[in-house]
Amino acid sequence: MQSFIEKFRRFMLGRNGVDQLTFCLLIIYLLINGIKMFFRFIPVVYFIMWGIALLVLGFAVYRVLSKNCYRRQYENGKFLDLLNKIHFDEIMMNFRRKFNRAKMRIMQIRTHRFRTCPNCNEHLRMSKKRGKRNITCPRCGHKFKAYIIF
């Protein structure tokens, strides 16, 4: 096993390897393959998607094995510039925030209920006590009523 790892290291010496663009291409390949499964019964669409997926995978493998590192770094830099233009970091941060909020709600569903302030859209956590509740938003001070049924 050790000799295989050493041979692989020697083979990859001077090659580009996996960077952000290659990783994104692999994710696109997996997404296309997942979507392709919905079109199993439409052969033309299925084979077109299969061909596109193979092209994306082939380009990703080409990038990994390429010895023209300067050109691959230039392509990766252009890709990162594009991500900065569309504010990808902010999009991912918002996605993570929403995912973590949903995860927190699922973990606390037995003991708490969550409501949104109609004035400022702040997410409020309250105990599971049933009935009509008068709530004051700690962020904006808006008072509103909430009903907790179960």
d(CA 56, CA 144): 53
Amino acid 143: pLDDT: 93
d(CA 23, CA 12): 17
d(CA 92, CA 97): 8
Q: How confident is the model at residue 9 (pLDDT cuts 50, 70, 90)?
A: confident
Amino acid 78: pLDDT: 96
Could you tell me if 29 and 49 are in contact, meaning their C-beta atoms sit under 8 angstroms apart?
no
d(CA 133, CA 130): 8
Q: Where are the alpha helices (DSSP H) in the chain?
A: 2-12, 20-36, 43-65, 69-85, 88-107
Amino acid 149: pLDDT: 85
Mean pLDDT over residues 124-143, rounded? 91
Amino acid 150: pLDDT: 77
The tens digit of pLDDT for each residue in 42-75 reads 999 999 999 999 999 999 999 999 999 999 999 9
